Structure formats: structure tokens, C-alpha cells
Structure 1
Amino acid sequence: MALVLRRIERSVRAQPPGVGKKKQSTKLPQYNTKTPPCTDACPSAEDIRGYLTLIAQADEYGRSPEMAIKMAFEALTDKNPLPATMGRICPHPCESACNRSQKDKAVSINKVEMAIGDFAIEQKLSLVKLAQAPTGKKVVVVGAGPAGLSAAYQMARRGHEVTLLDERAEPGGMLRWGIPAYRLPREVLAAEIQRIFALGVKFSPNTKVGRDVSLKDLKAKYDAVYLAIGAQTGRKLPLPGMDGSNVMTGVDFLLAQNLGQQPAMPAQVLVIGGGDVAYDVARTAVRLGAKKVVMVCRETRETMPATEEEIHEGTEEGIELHPGFTPKKVTAAGGKVSAVEFLKVELGEKDENGWPKVSEVPGTEFEVKAELVITAISQAPDYSGLEELKQDNGWTTNRGPAGRLNPEDKLWVGGDIVRRLGLVTQAFGDGRIAAEEMDAVLAGKAYKPAPKANVVSYKTMKLGFYKEAPRNEVTVLKPEERTKNFNGYVLGFDKNALLFEASRCMSCGSCFDCDTCWSYCGDGAVKKMPKGQHYNFILDKCIGCSKCADECPCSMIDMV
């Protein structure tokens, strides 16, 4: 928010007698709140700075820690209704963008989010509705995964009647059926989803569009339809012999485990793939009793899509990793694969489908023996009953910026089917943005996305103003303890660690009442305002020396 009310066009003002020579200009200072890079990098567009500073500045505003965390929860869940969930599984691109990393280490945003979410579950906090009166409009959401849950939440809190359909018995999509419980405890996910249902969302389980109800019927019954069917079909490896009875896709393996129907675990397991799903498979196999788990992927160690945490913790748990190899030959007998031969490859530019060109390196063959082979190389949507959505590229990528398929239709799409696979946080963003447009259309208004302020860079900040503060690292159980079962192994922050980690936020691009501009101005052009209103410029007194802008730690002041 700009705090300047007017601009005075005038020549450089003469300096009073006895004042030393100072830099002057016709430009005037202006307070402009900017977008922090953490929020810019967050696909869910969470107000990360907002909820961190609500906690960090609690004492200054006379808030108890508990009150501050509750306010932070409400700010956080404006965009993401599942903070305890996302604090456990999100690869946190926000932290890679954090300006604090140029000072010491990035703020542990992800685990602050987890701590806020866990606090909210413990305290039984509720989500905030934006409209108390019902709109009379009916919305159906197909798919109870991240994008569907997000859309249902955002529409329900805006007063619409929402029905959520899913083909499985419980909501959650891949959060429930694809992610192992040691990463995302079931009670955490269930508690956060229940808060969404408490807003009035009606859940209809075991309901598949195309089998139990048609898309045509949904469009006739509801004022808006949001489709977020995900990509829950594992892709098989197109290699001769890779159709043995002991070969599974990663999606099928994880689904079976989450249903309690996993196969008997042999001693030697081979996992092909290098992403987070491959690690979920490999680490699940370890917990199910496999003696040796080998992972092989085409990507190099540096380009593997799995997070560093997954790779590090997987190595701790004894998983043997061979990056940079592709499967070439299968040895099978009696309808079962017994070994797979791999060859080293070099990856080139990606083609139009996102697959890199592969150059093989002769003479680098090696063989991996296995009693169970699990391929976790990619996933695809199941369009049965929704064939009209499937476009030429096998996905549903041709849509409007908020997910609307046709300006004249009442159908929106989001999540993996539009992104050709993506992050959970991207799916949450898709659901929210689609809900904002659906809400506008149902109200007979044009949808206008909120404008984004300029992103503030550490290069324009005064990093020397901030004290060094060591990052709180999250505690996890030792490998020999955590591999015994599927219990959650990330211990997270206690209240003191949460408060300290939030205090490490530098409030990039937003005033935090440091008094720097006020103390540096020798002309009385900066006025202190009541707490919460920060400062104001008295432009008649300003000579345009730009000292306030030069010294502002968070780079909120511009000379214009």
C-alpha cells in the first residue's frame, strides 16, 4: 500500500542556513509495499511474509504467542487450507527464493507452516468464511485431491453450495492414496480435510463420473463444474519383457500399500525412477521388510526431480542409488523378471513432450537382480467417462488462465490434468484461482486477477541491518527407528523454535517499524504514525536527498 497521498511538483528547495550541503533532487520518497520473493515463488501464492511477521511482531503489538499463531493460521489458510499437510510434503520453492539465504540461511518456511498447522489441529481452529449468507448457487467438484479440495474450500467459504465427488471411499486423492503415511500421517490429513467439510461441503464417495453420473448430468444440475481428476494411472515402461507378474507401477504399489493390499515383500527390490514417487516406493519397500532396495534413474544426481531431503533420507535408510542409467534389457523366466540390464546415458535438450534426448554410452552396462520391479517413471490421467476432455497431447492443457475450458461453458479444470503432472502446491493454486473466477462468473461479474506488486530483491535491501540468526533445522528420527513402521518421523518445531524461526523473516518489501527512515531524515520529513500505520512523509519538508530510501533495510521506499 502506498502511503503517500499527493506529489508536489516543485524545484529543489533551498537549504536552511547553517545546514551542510546535502544531495537534493526533485524526486520524492514513496512507501510501496512489494512482493517478497517467497510469495512470488509459491505456486499457492501464500502470504508468507504476512504470517511470519504476525508471529515475529507479536510482542510489539501486544499479542500473546497463541493469538499470533492463530492469526498466522488465518492468514496462511486464506490461500492454503491444509498447512499441516503442506508443511510435511511441499518441496518448498519459497525457501530457494528466500532473501535470507543471502545473509545466512533461508527461513525454514515449510516447517513453520507445519508447526502452525499442527497448532491449529491441536487447538481445533476453524477455517474462516468470507460470506455468511448463501449465494443460492450450486457447484460440483470432481476429484477430492489437492486441486479439488482447494476449489471446494474456496467456493464454500464464499457462500456457494458445494458437492465434492470422488471415486474412492475417502477424500484426499494422491495425498491419501499415493503418499505414504510416514510422510503424511493419516490423522493429520483427515483433520485438515474435516475442517473444509465443516464449511458445509458435501462429500460423495465412491462416485465416478462416466460410471455413476455423466458429465452432461452434472452440467445440467449445477451452476459450475470443476474437474480435478488428477493423474493416478502409472505409466508402464515400454521395454520388452517388462510385463512380468512381479512388475508394478509405483502408483499401483503405493495404492495397494495404502489399502493394506501390498504384495509380499521379497528380499531384492528394484525401483526405476528418480522422483519423489520413486523414493516413496523405495522407502515404503524398506519399511515393508525388503533387504535390498536399488534405485536407478536416467537423470543425473544433480537433475533428479526428487527433493534433497528425500535423496538424503533415502540414502540414510540404505537405498542404493544409480543415477544416469537407462534400462536396456530384461531377463525373465516363468513370467517373472529376474534382472534388468542398464546402460549409462547422457541427457540432452527436452522434446515437445518434456522428455530429454538420450545419448547412450557404450560399454557401461551393468545388471541389477530383482524379485520385484516397480516403475515410477510418470503418470497419466484416466479419462474414461470424460473422453471429451482429453486433448491431442493426452492432457487438458488448452484452457483459460483460470482453468475455464470455454468462455460460454460452465466447466473449469485444474491440477495434474492441466499441468501434465505438477506439485501439490500448484494444484492448490489452480483450485483457488479457478474458484475466484467461478465465484465472479456466478455473480455476473468479470474476473480480474489481483495485480502483483514488484518483487523485492536482496540486492536493493540492506542485509547488514539484520543480525545473523542460525536457522532452526528440523529434527527427524534416526533411520533405524523410523524404518520400523509407517509413523511420522519428522518431529517439527516446538513453540519456542516456531517463534524464533518466524523472527528470522526480514519482512522484505514491507515496513516493520525499524525507525531507520525517521532517524536518518534531518529535515523532519518523516512522521511517526500510530502503531500499525508506520510512517508518513511530510513532502513540503522533503529535499529529495533519498537517504531514507538508500537506508531502508527492507527496500520499501522508492524515489519517484
Structure 2
Amino acid sequence: MSGGGGGGTTSNLRPKFVPKTPPCMNTCPNHVDIRGFITSISLAEKKGKSYDEAYTEAFYRIAETNVIPATIGRVCPHPCETACNRINVDESVSINKLERTVGDFAIEKGLPLKKLTDEKRQEKIAIIGAGPAGLTCAYHLARRGYNVTIFEAFPKAGGMLRYGIPAYRLPRNILDAEIKRIQDLGVEIRCNTAIGREISYDDLKNEYNAVFVGIGAHKGLNLNVSGEEAPNVYTGAEFLHKINSGESIDLGNKVIVIGGGDTAIDAARVAKRLGADTTILYRRTIKEMPAIDEEIEEAQKEGITMEFLAAPIEVLKNGNMAKAIKCIRMELKEADGSGRPRPVPIEGSEFITDATTIISAISQEPDFSGLEQFKHGRDWTKIDFKGETEFAGTYAGGDVIELSTVTVANSHGRKAADAVDHHFRSQTFEPEEKRFPPIISHEKMRLDFYEKLPRIPIKSLPVDERFGDLEKEVNSTYSHEEALAESKRCMSCGMCFNCEKCWMYCQVNAVVKTADLDHPFAFKLELCDGCKKCAEECPCGYIEMY
């Protein structure tokens, strides 16, 4: 079939389909095929696919990189959305919530993970830590045929996903289902086995052909102020670990949380659910808080007080118990090494706030007990571009490298698995970023083609129903109808989505329809007169003239 219309000046240039990398995928630390999985849903009807077929295809596209989409879809700060080209039309696509929807579908339908090969490799790989980095590394090695064993120090797998994130954000049945799927691929997980204590690193290295270190950052940092040794003063990591392990803590009626990151917000929201009047103290302003914006907003909705431009200087005690915290007001000066304004104490501005429990959620670090050789001062573990440490055959990733997001941890685990596989196959390892096509910016697209469509909001639990239960999930998953509507907001940047513009505007019948639903158009270059109209009218920037 061919179409007509349009027109334009002729030239010696000829059109070519040139795939681009969408900025969402480029910005995602794990480089998930975001455009691919979303258009699996949005284009399903055009391709004659059912709801189940579309979501199944979307899941396996995601699983090429991210093995825990239902988890990531709940806890990732979604930097991909800040890079979404649709921001220049209205609002970014709700990528994170769509990923969660696909992940939940896969759990509901019991979709198994797929191996890349039936080959069974002889090499044995040991992974230290069953957090997101370790689980991801294990998955990508197991699907390549390797024999993988994860050694986990805690009673259950999940790392910070289980022990650092509250169940109201990440239900444990969701996490358990995604971990079991990895185990079903043949990965063995040995819990209550701390490498460096029960088994030495040297013994592990002697028994296994390669090792991946992903121990996470479970050790909270202290405030370094007098009085914080009181038993009712906790670090954020310690407090959340206890709660997430099922321990009961008598918080009293007045909790003060110090910090502005996700751990501080999580600790404050947990304390509020346990019945305490809760206040967050932060030395900068809300604008500089590193926590996820949505989590900050939800904390405010739940009635958590936020005291900005204040920092602790002493814990006041009654006997051996903390009874109050002495603070000082701060003012912001020029930016520090983090790029944020530097907080400076204001002389004579001290004040005292009563507290029955104090939680220091200022930061955390890995516990290197028994693995001290991997600690390099404040910089922790060092790796090269392959993810390999200074110890040949030992790789590392996740918070043991740097405090960051779960998606960054996933990317470390996947890269290390790729490097390990290349090593054992005697292949040259090259970072995948070097293989990506060029990034498509909104300036190279026809934004006027795209209709303004409101972002589909996520339904959340009414505030008064959230308290007294740590496991009531606050946010819901999209319905099929909501997910379909949201998926249609994706502009398919840099890839054909069958809008037919090129076909409609070609006057000389050089653009023809094909029977290939994934590549619905082709060029008959012998008919092309180089008018450029197909490239000029292509909304997504897929066509270029050469």
C-alpha cells in the first residue's frame, strides 16, 4: 500500500530509519528499555495483541535488565521521569507506576524468568549479600548458565529492601515473590551465613571461581554529640531494621528524627504509625532534602512536623535515658561539596526540644567486619569500569561502593555479571553505554503532533486509615484501564509507533506499508525524490535524511 499528499522541494538526500536512545532509558541507571515496555502496552491493539500478551511482552522486556520490577516500581526515585521528553508537552509519563503495574501482573500470573541458554557452565560464583545488587548479579549469571550461590548474613533475603524499607511502601509478599522467582531459576540463597565471620573470604575465594560483594550499608552513622549513647537513641538504619525484623520498640509519645533522606522519612512515618507525635529536624530546607519528593509529601499529609534549618548539638538525659535534644538554628551559605547550600550555625540560637525517642537518620555505611580488605577509608570499596575490585576475580556493587538508589545497585550487579561472563568466555568487555544509539532530544521531535493528556494519578489510602498498621500499603497499582491510558502518553521518542505520518505525506509513493507489525513501514528509495517531508513530519525523530 502507498499513500499520497504533501510535497516539497527535491534533493539528493534519501530517508533512513535511525533508532535513537530515549532520554528516559539513558537516565535510568539500569538502562531499562522503558520505551519498549511501555509501547508493548500502548501499541497492543494496533498489533492485535491481547491484554495478557501485551503485559507479558512488557515484563520480559523489563526483565532483560531489571529482575524485580514490582519492587523497583514502588521504591525507585525514578530519575527517568525527570528526563522524559513529554515534560516539554505537559507532564512526564508515569514510568515508575507503569513498571510497578507490569511487575504486579507478572507476579499475579506467575510468569517465570527465562534463561538465555540451556548451557550449564562449570564455573561457580559466590555472591555476598542478598540485596538488590546481589540478587540482580545472581539472576544475570544464572540465566547465562552459571552455578550461583548467595550468602546472606540476615535471616531472610532482600537486604535493604527488606530491612531498610517499611512494608507500607514495599509489601513483603511482593518482595518475596520476586526473590522466589530468582531462586526458581536455580540460584541458591544461604541465609544466616555472614562471610567474614562464619566463612572467611579466603575460603570462599578458594572454593568459587568468582565472587561478588554486595553487602549493603546496614550500619547507621551516629550524630557524634554527647548523650547519644542513651538506649532510646537509635540510628535510622538500626531503628528500621528492628521494626522490619518484627521487634517491638517503646517509642513513647514524642519522636525526633534527624535527617532529610529516605531513611529519615521512612523512620518518621513508621514512628507516626506506631502512635508517636513525630518531628523531623533537618539542617537545610525542604528544597534540599534528598528524599523522594512523593515520600516527603506523604509524610506531610500524615501530620509529621518538619523543622528546617536546625541541627542537633547535644542529647539531654534524665538518668541514662534521653529526654530532650538541644539544637541550634542554621543559615545557608555558599554550596558545599554536595552542590547544596552549606548550613552554618547561628551563634546564640540554641533551643531544646523534648523527646521520648531520638532517631539519627543522617547517613549509613557498610559493616566491613571480616571484610576489612574491601574498605578504603571513607571511599569504601573501589572498582574499575568492569565492576572488579583490586582483588582479581572479585567484583562489587551497590551501597558497598556508594550510597545510592536500588536502581543503581541493580545496575552494578548487572554490569558485574556481564563482566564475569565476558571473562570466562575470554571476550573483551565493553560498557553497554558505548553501544547505545544517539539520544533523541525534544528539539528533534514534532511536539505539536502530541495531544496534551493529563497524567493518570495514583490512588492512595486515606490518611486516617494508614495508622496502627505497618503493612497497609499506601499507594495502589494502576488498573488495566489506567495503565493503558498512561501508556498512550508515551511519545515513543526515537522509534516508530505507527502514526502513519511518513506514509500519508509521501507524494511519490516511496513509503510503503509492510506486514511486519514491529516495522510497519519501508522505503522504496528508487521512487524517492528527496523532498524530506517524511523526516520533517515524523513526530518521534525516527527518520533522518542522508
Q: TM-score range by the shorter chain?
A: over 0.9
Q: For 1:200 and 1:544, locate their aligned partners in 2 and report how far apart those are by CA, in whole Å.
A: 55
Contact persistence 1:326–1:345 (CA under 8 A)? no
Contact persistence 1:350–1:357 (CA under 8 A)? yes
1:8 match:
none
Q: Alignment partner for residue 549 of structure 1, among 524, 535, 538?
A: 535
Q: Deviations for 1:486-524, whole angstroms, at most 9, x for unmatched residues?
A: 221212211111122112211111011211112222233
Q: Alignment partner for residue 385 of structure 1, among 370, 377, 396?
A: 370
1:498 matched to 2:483: yes
Contact persistence 1:146–1:427 (CA under 8 A)? yes
1:68 matched to 2:54: yes
Q: Alignment partner for residue 128 of structure 2, among 112, 137, 142?
A: 142
Contact persistence 1:185–1:488 (CA under 8 A)? yes
Q: Deviations for 1:172-226, whole angstroms, at most 9, x for unmatched residues?
A: 0010111111111111100110000000001111111111111111111111110
1:7 match:
none
1:198 match:
184
1:523 matched to 2:508: yes
* Count of aligned pairs: 537
Q: Alignment partner for residue 353 of structure 2, among 359, 362, 368?
A: 368
Q: Deviations for 1:14-65, whole angstroms, at most 9, x for unmatched residues?
A: xxxxx99943444332211111111111111110110111111111111101
Q: For 2:459 and 2:396, locate their aligned partners in 1 and report how far apart those are by CA, in whole Å.
A: 38
Contact persistence 2:458–2:476 (CA under 8 A)? yes
1:286 matched to 2:272: yes
1:59 matched to 2:45: yes
Q: Which amino acid aligns with 1:439?
A: D
Of stretches 325-334 and 40-49 in structure 1, the one that deviates more from structure 2 is: 325-334
Q: For 1:230 and 1:129, locate their aligned partners in 2 and report how far apart those are by CA, in whole Å.
A: 27
Q: Which segments of 5 or more consecutive residues in structure 2 lack a partner in the other structure?
A: none
Q: For 1:58 and 1:390, locate their aligned partners in 2 and report how far apart those are by CA, in whole Å.
A: 49
Q: For 2:304 and 2:488, locate their aligned partners in 1 and report how far apart those are by CA, in whole Å.
A: 37
Q: For 2:533 and 2:401, locate their aligned partners in 1 and report how far apart those are by CA, in whole Å.
A: 48
- 1:5-404 to structure 2, matched below 5 A, reads 22-290=8-276, 292-340=277-325, 341-351=327-337, 357-362=342-347, 364-396=349-381, 398-404=382-388
Q: For 1:330 and 1:141, locate their aligned partners in 2 and report how far apart those are by CA, in whole Å.
A: 40
Q: Which amino acid aligns with 1:402?
A: K
Q: For 2:156 and 2:293, locate their aligned partners in 1 and report how far apart those are by CA, in whole Å.
A: 31
Task: Say if 1:521 and 1:281 are closer, same or farther in 2 by CA, change over 3 A.
Answer: same
Q: Which amino acid aligns with 2:309?
A: G
Q: How big is the shift at 1:68? A: 0.6
Q: For 2:36 and 2:6, locate their aligned partners in 1 and report how far apart those are by CA, in whole Å.
A: 41
Contact persistence 1:301–1:324 (CA under 8 A)? no
- 1:504-515 to structure 2, matched below 5 A, reads 504-515=489-500
Q: Deviations for 1:141-184, whole angstroms, at most 9, x for unmatched residues?
A: 11000000000011011110000101011100010111111111
Q: Deviations for 1:104-141, whole angstroms, at most 9, x for unmatched residues?
A: 22111111111111111111111111111211221111
Q: How big is the shift at 1:365? A: 3.7
Q: Which amino acid aligns with 2:305?
A: E
Task: Say if 1:206 and 1:547 are closer, same or farther in 2 by CA, change over 3 A.
Answer: same
Contact persistence 1:327–1:343 (CA under 8 A)? no
2:394 match:
411
Q: Alignment partner for residue 456 of structure 1, among 421, 435, 440?
A: 440
Secondary structure of the equivalent of 2:202? helix
Task: Say if 1:354 and 1:405 are closer, same or farther in 2 by CA, change over 3 A.
Answer: farther
What's the % identity of the aligned pairs? 42
Q: Deviations for 1:306-335, whole angstroms, at most 9, x for unmatched residues?
A: 111111110111100012222234332312
Q: Alignment partner for residue 465 of structure 2, among 481, 492, 501?
A: 481
CA RMSD in angstroms comes to: 1.8
Q: For 1:440 and 1:347, locate their aligned partners in 2 and report how far apart those are by CA, in whole Å.
A: 48
Q: How big is the shift at 1:356? A: 6.5
Q: Which segments of 5 or more consecutive residues in structure 1 lack a partner in the other structure?
A: 1-18
Of stretches 474-483 and 26-35 in structure 1, the one that deviates more from structure 2 is: 26-35
Secondary structure of the equivalent of 2:378? coil
Q: For 1:515 and 1:238, locate their aligned partners in 2 and report how far apart those are by CA, in whole Å.
A: 64
Secondary structure of the equivalent of 1:385? coil
Q: How big is the shift at 1:355? A: 8.8
Q: How big is the shift at 1:298? A: 1.5
Q: For 1:223 and 1:128, locate their aligned partners in 2 and report how far apart those are by CA, in whole Å.
A: 24
Contact persistence 2:332–2:341 (CA under 8 A)? no
